[in-house]
Chain A
Amino acid sequence: MSQYFAGVDIGSTMTKVVIMNEAVLASVIGPTGPEHRKLANRVMEEALAKAKLAFEDITYVVATGYGRINVPFADKQITEISCHARGVAHLLPEVRTVIDIGGQDSKGIKLKEGRAVDFVMNDKCAAGTGRFLEVAAEELGVSLEDMGRLSLEAENRVEISSTCTVFAAQEVVAKLSEGVALSDIIAGLHEAIAIRIYGMVRRLKIEREVALTGGGAKNIGLVKALEAKLGFPVLVPPEPLLTGAIGAALLGRDIVQEAAKKGETLVRSERRLTEATLFT
């Protein structure tokens, strides 16, 4: 009988669900949002429908991400560092360093034999995260998706000197009023975020190959700006938002296989596909 494993990654901005057996059968990416914070079950239902499976068919569920405690139907919660490491090691085995740029934090992970052995995180300042570009895009009246492409059109990249997201947004407005070209400002913003991320990750002694994951990896301008800092090209998984969820599903599979090998009976959570109860 086939075994199916689910990984649920509740990030600050997006919720991701993956259902796997040997390969990914279905995946769903949806916004986390204030209301959806407790609705991981809805995203899970969507993924199950895509995979044509019922919840009872799932052998093991691992939740990860900052909202992992809000997944009442998970069998286990595992940190996003471990899940990203496992996911990247599976998708891109040659990778030794992962840079994950999320909506509200960014992190660097050092891998050895497929496991995280060191990490750094920026959860203090929005200036090194996706939020920085989000705020700037709003200020510039440009869609977030277009920011990366526009940054590559710059001819005279400007320097954004403010290290605070809010003040950087003000600086952007000032530059606009000075008549600086939009693409030059956007390139400056990408450079600013790349400097901060690179400064954080180099604490790990970066080793090639380097993979870029998270929403930031979908931004070609940021990829190029980071490559310029690193001095070599980075690898980006086919769907960089899903590495954590894939890693979670794979770790679930590892747990089940390890238990079977040892002849142990797994203690499973009393799983029901319900929404999380918050603030009780």
Chain B
Amino acid sequence: MTEEKKPEERKKRRTATEAASKIGPMVKASIGGTVQAREEGKPIAYTFICCCYDEIIQAMDIVPVWTENYAGVCGAKRDAQRFLERAESENFSRSLCTYALCGLGFDAWREELGEMPPEAPWGGQARPDMMLGSGQMLCDPRNKWYQAAQHYMPDVPIYDVGLPWPPYEDDYDYREVQDYYVKYIVEELKGLVQFLEKHTGRKMDWERLSQLVDLTDKTWNLIWEAYELRRAVPTPMGTGDAMNTMVPMVFMMGTQEGYDYYKDLYDELKRKIANKEGVIPDEKYRLIWGGGLPSWFALTDFNYFNSKGAVFPVETTYRMIEAIYNFDMDLSKITDPLEHIAWRWVKFWTYWHDRARKRPGSHPDVERLIKYIEDYKIDGIVMHEAFSCRSWHVGLIWQLNLLKKVYRNIPSLILESDIVDISSYNEVDTRARIDAFIDTLEAVKSKKG
């Protein structure tokens, strides 16, 4: 029976940093913590990555269940297929977001059993008391996933936070409209607070919220400074590790644990640089992971790149922060915590607009690539087209072509697979592509002399 299939777990990936190796146990503890919180009767909420409401739920002591992360864990443990198949049997299309499918398959199964599915990875995903969508422009499953999950948990209420930002146009300054966006987001967040107060019976501690908002600002600055250290040659940390170290960034803002994690990472990278300790000692090619979520079941491909002398000092994926002090406004003057969160959100998503307007025909996403290519001394670009994620992946090739048009030709590789669905992946073919890409990098390098 399909549901009994449980493939063997893969060996752990070799990481370059201690910080990255801490993430597995941290995530495991978080997942275990949600199951325990459920037993203790603490309020639990399904939440999304980069949800903008981290500090709000932290201030109200609501325990988050990171649903995308759990699907990624199932993928990384190569144990997602049975949940995907379960969702498929519920008539969800396999071409939908496989994070959502994995989660829906898991939820359907857990609700049917009245307990965790057998041998659920890391103890399973706890049943929530509420589900907090966080959508609009990031991706549609962030609205629709929990609505579908409600089919199996009709008693669990949903609140959907709309989080827009001014779209890029080269003939207007987003500052003309930014106030409207901030106002809208503040109203959305106020609604969320009211919802949480109603369903938990708790009152928001606004003073505490302000403190946590400040803590997030501090953490953003610290992450930016730590990641900028990766410019060093040899780079002390690659994208393979960054796919781990992103966890506190995207799920644990407004927590001291998150801040302390990046302080440790910063110190570790400083130490490695002082000792000239790189991901690999002899870097031949420096690459950027220029877009696309990774295949969680194939993170060892990063080690394969390393074995060919290639490192990834930088990536656009999951670098979901900027230095607050680099924004064009002083956020510390925004004392209302909800307004502060809204301004931070809008300023993050419009950060690259001004650069793009200065280069005819360019685009903010492309400007970001150009800046990283220059700052991190990049030789080539790698992207991953995950078939099930439209929002983050549609437009990658367009970006690549635009980059080549407005900037310069740069060797590029497009990998094709998925985030969770391992049936889309072929290790032999993937590595054949990587080998061929290394050949082209070498050809271009040797021509430059």
Chain A positions within 8 Å of B, measured between CB atoms, are: 66, 78-82, 105, 112-113, 115-121, 123-124, 203
Contacts and interface: CB of A to CB of B under 8 A. Distances in A.
Given A123-B426, A124-B416, A117 B443 contact: yes
21 contacts: A66-B432, A79-B432, A81-B436, A81-B439, A82-B436, A82-B443, A105-B429, A112-B443, A112-B447, A113-B447, A115-B446, A116-B443, A117-B409, A117-B411, A117-B443, A119-B436, A120-B414, A121-B432, A121-B433, A124-B426, A124-B429
A123 B429 contact: yes
B447 A115 contact: yes
Nearest to B425: A124
B200 interface: no
B144 to A, nearest CB: 26
Contacts of A120: 414
A265 to B, nearest CB: 21
A131 to B, nearest CB: 14
Interface string B424-449: 10101100110111011001101100
A112 B428 CA distance: 27
Contact of A79 (B414, B424, B435): B435
B440 A117 contact: yes
Interface in B189-217: none
A78 B439 contact: yes
Determine chain B's interface SS by DSSP, over half rule. helix
Contacts, number: 53
B15 interface: no
Determine chain A's interface SS by DSSP, over half rule. mixed
A113 B449 CA distance: 14
Contacts of B432: 66, 79-80, 121, 123
Nearest to A119: B436
Contacts of B178: none
B423 to A, nearest CB: 11
A80 B429 CA distance: 12
B412 interface: yes
A69 B416 CA distance: 23
A82 B414 contact: no
A116 B433 CA distance: 13
A112 B447 CA distance: 10
B439 A79 contact: yes
A78 B412 CA distance: 19
Chain B CB within 10 A, most for which of A78, A82, A105: A82
Contacts of A80: 432, 436
B432 to A, nearest CB: 6
Contacts of A115: 443, 446-447
Contacts of B424: 124
B388 to A, nearest CB: 14
Contacts of A116: 436, 439-440, 443
Nearest to B412: A118
Contacts of A119: 436-437, 440
Contacts of A82: 436, 439, 443
B334 interface: no
A118 B411 contact: yes
A128 B426 CA distance: 17
Nearest to A66: B432
Chain A CB within 10 A, most for which of B412, B443, B447: B443
B383 to A, nearest CB: 12
Given A113-B447, A120-B414, A203 B439 contact: no
Nearest to B437: A119
Give the 10 A-B residue pairs with the shortest CB-CB distance, closest first.
A81-B436, A115-B443, A123-B429, A82-B439, A79-B436, A79-B435, A79-B439, A116-B440, A117-B440, A117-B444
